[in-house]
Amino acid sequence: MSYEFSAQQRRVFDRYSRWLGMLVATFDKTPQVFEARRQSGHQRGALSWDTRLNRVHFYEETLQGHWKRVGNIRTLVSRYVDDLTTFRRESLEITQRSSRSEPLAQVDCRIYSLYRSTNWGGTPPNSVRSLVQELGSRFWSLTGQTTPTHGMIDTMGEAIFGLNAAFVRIMDSPSCACHSQPTVAQELFRNTVTTPAWDIAYSSADPSIRAREYQADVARLFNDFVLLNTQMGVFVKEITLRHRLGQ
């Protein structure tokens, strides 16, 4: 429960999700770049579709609810650990007031906070053992939360390096077939219609400078998201490990 996700990390998460949302749209603007260069007297370039972009929409959609799922896991674990801690404290207090020869079955389970704070429906527990089983089932239920979340973290961990490589390929490609410069990135910033909508303050109106600053910012974002995705993975693995040890 010591894993905390800051407002800055949430901003990294949101910006990376937004970058995913515009990745295919950025690729779709490259024909305009190639055509503009052709009209200015250069041999028309082309950029083939990168198959690593095929699942971008899936990653973006899944990522939208990803942070919420991790937050839900933290909330549930915190609640269940509090329940377990309270149950342990109350059990020690009851033990101190009771005779060693008193059978566990004679302890009234209704004196526990867990009993009073839980909506049992029509079949409330009738023993302390039933309360222990309820505590166990709560931790067991976390599997339904951690398993798909862990899978998504692993999936993103495998995908983000390929997506970053696809982005670099698009940006660094020549904007015509006869020259290595300017790049697609530089030409994208030459026209307001094709300029990527990104949330940084550029130091210059020069397309080459803006393109360089844009690519550098995305590179930093990529590194920050890799660290964040790894941290979320460690958190979920830690919860899963502790759950297994507690079984």
Q: What average pLDDT values come out for the chain (247 residues) when binned by 10 residues? A: 74 93 94 94 93 91 80 85 92 84 82 89 86 87 80 84 94 94 95 92 95 97 92 79 57
Cβ neighbours of 210 (radius 10 Å):
22
The Cα–Cα gap between 3 and 13 comes to 16
Residue 167 CA: distances (Å) to CA of 56, 170, 246 = 12, 5, 44
Token output for 30: 């490259």
pTM of the model as a whole = 0.79
Cis bond before residue 182 (omega within 30° of 0) = yes
Helix (H) or strand (E) holding 95: helix 66-97
pLDDT score at 233: 83
> What pLDDT score does 72 carry?
84
How much is the pLDDT for 207? 94
- Tell me what pLDDT residue 213 has: 97
Q: For residues 169 and 151, what is the distance between their CA atoms, to the nearest angstrom?
A: 28
**Of 68, 9, 59, residue with least CA distance to 167:** 59
Alpha helices of 98-206 — where are they, by DSSP H? 113-117, 128-141, 143-172, 184-188
